[in-house]
Structure 1
């Protein structure tokens, strides 16, 4: 592995596909900031942060051109993927300005299922034997992505650029939806209206309530559990009242499973239990309505095909290849 890390690759002068799509998303959201400048909380800081991301991107390109090898290629790709942790809460800075739509989704949930599945699920399965496996699955979201990305890097380097592009582009497609569709999910909406209204099947509109409020209800389940507390800690740091519909946890993890299946069926079978637990957990911990998770699953196949088509149309040849 140490030898392959420093195996030289042909150095191109252009951007990697994943960097191109990241810069496009950066530019589009920067333009949106300018349009909404007067209404936003800290638009100047957001624009400066975006400029910093551009500077970082081109610094890494310079590093790669100076030392063109697998390792520097990996760094360029992974840095763009790690920046998704910045782009996710960033969606909240936009959709907090628009009227919240949770009342529509909660009402439809009630009409379709005759209850609130996110409430009933955790209520009927509160023990550690349910709580810990589901929270483990939810926490495994990013590790599952990392495992598949590293597997491609080690075993199928020639496909590495493509899967990084497809993964990041899929995130950006979901993020655009979240910017335009402000749905916070049960863990934010239910405490905002009160459980007495939820139990009475009364789901009022709350307008731009989340523009100034972001209280997150503690997750249900066994609150002394190891994975329960890991999920709680991660949500306290990075969670915002945004990105409920469709569930990107379900959508992206489904795309990751497609990628795993295409490269190694054995890898897919190993990840399958974690994937199933993750999908169930999105509703169990009340991060999503059931309809969010269902649409997240079915949308994943369309998003995967769209991102793959974009790669094929825009990037016919890889940005790097091994030197023989």
Structure 2
């Protein structure tokens, strides 16, 4: 029995923490997609009617997982592939979260979020903000909003290219942890964006350049936008990327700061989030910022049999070859002579 437990432990710690977290999310996701595909309860109407069905998304999820497992076994030297895959899986799982929301059918809390915003401010912030609507502001906030998909991965890429492996690992685990905690929030507390909950409350339409206007209106074809407001992962990840950049890549902090600020303000201006969503997202930020490096260190120590995290090497990485110290080389030559 103890040998079996050790075998399971070795198999578990052969994974990285973000891969283990992906597996924990993957299992209920695959089960839900299979159930909804079999019962045909995955069919959607309205603008999202053309969205790929549950069976298609299940096959994509299974095939991408199989390809990932085969490649890390057959090509362990392709370390960048393994390092980048968690973001691919996060995007893959995100695309099917609406099925988990429908399957578990938790109560919709949109009305409560609306009331909380009114209690905090005495008015509804997204309605109040329409007095500032200008095409240039709309375009700027739209660009900032879409940079959510860029800022965190870019920081990871800079650290990777700088060969700061420890900072890269901390950043990767922290970002993925934040995303998965947010996904759990979507399923546990479904909520709609203000623009969907009360579309008739706005008297000023938001318009900018045609291309950016199209990117905003096109989001209605993604089913998760109907119930994926709480917490705000856009704001959570934006703040998290800023904090991580301050710690590990200071110059990129200053590059990110205006866009991250624009993203947070823009979620209200563009009517994507209630302010309470943003505050909940910030809670996620600080939880992930505190827990991510600690999880990585704990996982690495156990995977390496108790070595300190600065000496242990995560799975899938080669141990660096250390050159002898100069004094050691001199001593060796003296001994030889």
| Map 1:1-324 → 2, pairs under 5 A | 14-30=14-30, 41-42=41-42, 46=54, 49-50=57-58, 52-69=60-77, 72-96=78-102, 97-121=105-129, 123-159=130-166, 160-191=168-199, 194-195=200-201, 220-224=205-209, 226-234=211-219, 236-237=221-222, 240-316=225-301, 317=312, 318-319=314-315, 320-324=317-321
**TM, length-normalised to structure 1:** 0.76
Q: 2:236, 2:284 within 8 Å by CA — same for their partners in 1? A: yes
* Structure 1 unaligned regions, length at least 5: 1-12, 200-218
State the alpha-carbon separation in 2 of the partners of residues 126 and 299 from structure 1.
Answer: 30
Closer, same or farther: CA 293–245 of 1 in aligned 2, 3 Å: same
State the alpha-carbon separation in 1 of the partners of residues 223 and 86 from structure 2.
Answer: 18
SS in 2 for 1:83: helix
* TM-aligned CA deviation for residue 83 of structure 1: 2.7
State the alpha-carbon separation in 2 of the partners of residues 38 and 66 from structure 1.
Answer: 34
Aligned residues: 285
* TM-aligned CA deviation for residue 110 of structure 1: 1.4
State the alpha-carbon separation in 1 of the partners of residues 215 and 170 from structure 2.
Answer: 32
State the alpha-carbon separation in 2 of the partners of residues 36 and 238 from structure 1.
Answer: 15
CA deviation digits over 1:100-156, x for unaligned, max 9? 2111111121122111101211x1111123212111111111111221121121013
SS in 2 for 1:246: coil
State the alpha-carbon separation in 1 of the partners of residues 173 and 63 from structure 2.
Answer: 20
Closer, same or farther: CA 52–134 of 1 in aligned 2, 3 Å: closer
Q: Which structure carries more relative contact order (alpha carbon 8 Å, separation 6+)?
A: 1
**TM, length-normalised to structure 2:** 0.73
Q: 1:17, 1:165 within 8 Å by CA — same for their partners in 2? A: yes
Closer, same or farther: CA 28–146 of 1 in aligned 2, 3 Å: same
Q: 1:26, 1:50 within 8 Å by CA — same for their partners in 2? A: no
Q: Which has the larger radius of gyration?
A: 2
> Which residue matches 2:333?
none
Closer, same or farther: CA 80–290 of 1 in aligned 2, 3 Å: same
SS in 1 for 2:226: coil
Closer, same or farther: CA 68–240 of 1 in aligned 2, 3 Å: same
State the alpha-carbon separation in 2 of the partners of residues 20 and 55 from structure 1.
Answer: 18
Q: 1:18, 1:77 within 8 Å by CA — same for their partners in 2? A: no
Q: 2:36, 2:54 within 8 Å by CA — same for their partners in 1? A: no
* TM-aligned CA deviation for residue 179 of structure 1: 0.3
* Structure 2 unaligned regions, length at least 5: 1-12, 44-52, 302-311, 322-337
